Amino acid sequence: MFGVLALKDLSRNPEIEGGGHAWVGIVLAVISILLWGGILALAVIGAILSGGR
């Protein structure tokens, strides 16, 4: 979220710096969301396959 806001600010004011940091933040956030989603999916699948034991 903050990376996107930073990119908006950078487009409005090209004198400020930090575009690389904004992109790194966006990329790491997406990777984190995908990893946590995978962990959650594995947990749900494991619970279903165990039959609720």
Matching residue, tokens 């904004």: 22
Residue boundaries of the structural domains of the chain? 2-49
Query: How is 14-52 classified by DSSP, letter by letter?
Result: TTS--HHHHHHHHHHHHHHHHHHHHHHHHHHHHHHHTTT
For 30, half-sphere exposure in the C-beta direction (CA atoms, 13 angstrom radius) is 7
Q: What is the pLDDT of residue 51?
A: 83
Per-residue pLDDT of the chain (53 residues; tens, 9 = 90+): 889 999 999 999 888 898 999 999 999 999 999 999 999 999 999 999 998 66
